[in-house]
Amino acid sequence: MATIEECRAALEKLAENMRGAEGDVREAAAMDRSVSCRITDLDVTFVGRLTDGRIEVDDTLPGPPREKAQIRLTMTGDDLVALVGGELHFAKAWGSGRVSLEAGLRDLFRLRKLL
């Protein structure tokens, strides 16, 4: 089971990957939205913002998110680490229910370029 530190490192790696993105991926990430990533097996939620093409994690909270973020991800810590490490494909994980992504319809259409 992944630790909180490994999950935070995975989110930082994802943020770094997004900073270096170009073209359609960079354009899709160029929005300003609140973001939460709930890690079910650790019972924690990382909260922050997607802004200027990168994710900034502001806090790690125990339990479910206190406020509803505009973009919400839910998964296990191992799945987060595997997704960022390229060992798990997002569409397959989402289709099988291992990963949940909730957002407004317009944001979902933009995010599909990222995923």
Per the prediction, the chain carries an average pLDDT of 89
The model carries a pTM of: 0.89
The answer for residues whose C-beta is within 8 angstroms of residue 18's C-beta and 6 or more apart is: 25, 29, 53, 54, 55, 114
Q: What is the pLDDT of residues 30-85, one digit of tens each?
A: 789 999 999 999 999 999 998 877 789 999 999 998 899 999 999 999 999 999 99
pLDDT-above-90 percentage for the chain: 63
